[in-house]
Amino acid sequence: MQYTLEEVVNHLKTQGFVFQGSEIYGGLANSWDFGPLGVELERNLKNLWWQHFISKSRYNVGLDSAILMNNNVWKASGHLGNFADPLLDCKKCKTRMRADKLIEDKYPNLNCGGWSNEQLKTFITENQLLCPNCGAYDFTDIRQFELMFKTNQGVIEDEKSVVYLRPETAQGIFVNFKNVQRALRKKLPFGIGQIGKSFRNEITPGNFIFRTREFEQMELEFFYDVNDQTDWFNYWVEEVTKFLNLINLNPKNYSLCEHEKSELAHYAKRTIDVEYKFPFGAGELWGIADRGDFDLRQHATMSKHDLTYLNQETNMKILPHVIEPSVGVGRLMLAILYDAYHVEKVGDDDSRIVLKLSPLLAPYQLAVIPLSKQLNAAAYQVYEKLLQRFQCTYDETGNIGKRYRRQDAIGTPFCVTFDFESLEDNKVTIRNRDTMEQDRIAIANLEDYFIAVLR
């Protein structure tokens, strides 16, 4: 069953996953705050990514580079002067839009990402494309819109003090390639990964947390010798797929899409996107790109530093090539939450909302529930014991049915119910979120039981 984006977003807001940014002041467009449950899911997701791609990988190490960088970094990478979108406005209703997206929304099989402003204008004119907001055909000229956020560093605000908020985390890795390689004496192939904030002054952000101006990336740059016979590109495509399986993303809802040569970024030799079927259409979830040696070559030229790698076996210097698997935290969270959202009938007259999140991601793995407030003291002892090993919450408000429904709605895999019999037999009732089946388990065996089922 397909659910609307509005339906899922409303649920996430009311349950404490995501809030509108600056809401008490009327909000700020395209600004979102992760609430108590959202930040737990986000933390679990980032920890899983780090374990899979960094700490448990034989090849990779981590980094946390600065958000503000020397402006020459962005000149070398091509972001200064070239990182812009083609902007036009409807003169009648003042709606601002990207010229390429205006075309692609009307002709979804057409990719005009590399077109010049003149080509875009000619196509819009010849096909009499109309404003999607008011239906008028009356546009301004197309102009380039700078996507990087500017700020100033230091006391005096002038051209010399201008710095930029980074638009991607990748460049912090490239400029530290030699530092990491020397410090840890790494041999090719090896990767450097990081999780961090990036900023892009998008013209048309939207679709909730899918496209935002402030976002977080989980990014890996994997350096290898181009003469290496291993197919590293497919290796990392497979690792990304393994991770999607690990977090239980439904494979029916996403696909691997290879870019045509005409669609590739100027530096890319090959790119495969993981595209997820969102309610607003297919959207890029995760990109795996072969960037060649473009980035290291550019930084070596601009900085005048030798960024080559000495192969000690052949005594030859080489400039490594790079495979980049990169994913946005917000986008991946949206896919996970949309995938997990279900409305199910219970009996003939009832229904429930349930988030079927992986136990590895759910904000709470367990909810301890006393059947009566008279049992709070004993139930709380069970809660405190489980809290040492698992992510737990304690729920004592409302009747037992409402509390089960509440935990279903936020994705808690198991409820632990302490009842009056528990005082006699030292057992509790375990309720499964997905099946709603119940088992009676000895309190002394709870830790071993949950270690086995929370995978």
Residue 161 reports pLDDT greater than 90 = no
Q: Lowest-pLDDT range, 18-32, 91-105, 292-306?
A: 91-105
Residue 84 reports pLDDT greater than 90 = no
Task: Name the pLDDT band for 267 (thresholds 50, 70, 90).
Answer: confident
**What pTM was estimated for this model as a whole?**
0.88
CATH topology of domain 5-76+148-338: BirA Bifunctional Protein; domain 2 (3.30.930)
d(CA 103, CA 39): 37
Does domain 364-453 sit in CATH 3.40.50.800?
Answer: yes
Q: What's the confidence (pLDDT) of residue 203?
A: 75
User: Angle at which helices 329-340 and 36-50 pack, to 10 degrees?
Assistant: 110
Task: Name the pLDDT band for 8 (thresholds 50, 70, 90).
Answer: very high
Q: What's the confidence (pLDDT) of residue 143?
A: 83
Task: Name the pLDDT band for 295 (thresholds 50, 70, 90).
Answer: very high
Mean pLDDT of 177-193: 97
Q: Is the pLDDT higher at 438 or at 204?
A: 438
Going by C-alpha positions, the residue among 318, 323, 324, 325 that lies closest to residue 225 is 318
Q: What's the confidence (pLDDT) of residue 312?
A: 86
d(CA 272, CA 231): 14
- Interval 387-413: pLDDT, tens: 999 999 999 999 999 999 999 999 999
Q: How far is CA 291 from CA 43, 92, 305, 314, in A?
A: 29, 42, 20, 24
d(CA 380, CA 290): 53
Mean pLDDT of 207-228: 95
- Interval 135-148: pLDDT, tens: 999 999 888 777 88
Cis peptide before 251 (omega within 30 of 0): no
Q: Lowest-pLDDT range, 46-50, 122-126, 159-163, 300-304?
A: 159-163
Q: Is the pLDDT higher at 157 or at 309?
A: 309
d(CA 152, CA 145): 20
Q: What's the confidence (pLDDT) of residue 81?
A: 66
Give me Rg for the CA atoms of the chain.
26
Q: What length is written for the chain? A: 455
Q: What's the confidence (pLDDT) of residue 83?
A: 64
Instruction: Delimit the domains of the chain by residue range.
Output: 5-76+148-338, 87-146, 364-453
- Interval 325-376: pLDDT, tens: 999 999 999 999 999 999 999 887 789 999 999 999 999 999 999 999 999 9
Q: What's the confidence (pLDDT) of residue 82?
A: 65
d(CA 281, CA 206): 13
Collapsing DSSP to helix, strand or coil, 74 comes out as helix
Residue 384 reports pLDDT greater than 90 = yes
Average pLDDT score over the chain: 93
Strand partners, 275: 255, 284
Q: What's the confidence (pLDDT) of residue 183?
A: 97
Collapsing DSSP to helix, strand or coil, 129 comes out as coil
Q: What's the confidence (pLDDT) of residue 306?
A: 96
Alpha-helical (H) ranges within 247-286 are none
Residue 155 reports pLDDT greater than 90 = no
Task: Name the pLDDT band for 264 (thresholds 50, 70, 90).
Answer: confident
